[in-house]
Amino acid sequence: MKITDTIEIADWELTESFTRASGPGGQNVNKVSTAVELRFEAERSPNLTQAVKTRLRRIAGTKWTKEGAIVLFVQDTRSQARNREIALERMADMIRKATFVPKRRVATKPTYGSVKRRLEGKKVRGAVKALRGKVEE
């Protein structure tokens, strides 16, 4: 399965299993295994760099297992084939997101004028609050 120009996932890295789904579907729900569980062995994948694997772990969140695999469970439609397509597309989207390197934040100093305005506003606010006290007679 081709993800990007440089990343291609081999068949041995993906495992699919099918179970009966919950939700709408009438008698079909009780008879046909339409829900798909897609498992991708991300940690063992030779096609992903270590940086991509680290970002992928953060993106996957609770879908990441202790063994370093990503497990997606899809039961959106009544069709097994459509659920497979959805699961594969979600996996591909996760990997594509992980390939983008986030921009580093450049620390900046506040301008002299903005510091002055902030401190002046604090003084004004403090003066207003000071006037709320008890009145001395």
**Residue 1, SS3?**
coil
The string of pLDDT tens digits covering residues 111-122 is: 999 999 999 999
The string of pLDDT tens digits covering residues 12-43 is: 888 888 988 887 667 777 788 889 999 998 88
Contact 36, 128 (CB under 8 A): no
For the chain, list the domains and their CATH numbers. Answer: 1-137 (3.30.160.20)
Round to whole Å and give the CA distance between 47 and 3: 11
Q: H/E element holding 83? A: helix 80-99
Round to whole Å and give the CA distance between 58 and 70: 11
Whether the pLDDT of residue 136 is over 90: the answer is no
**Residue 95, SS3?**
helix
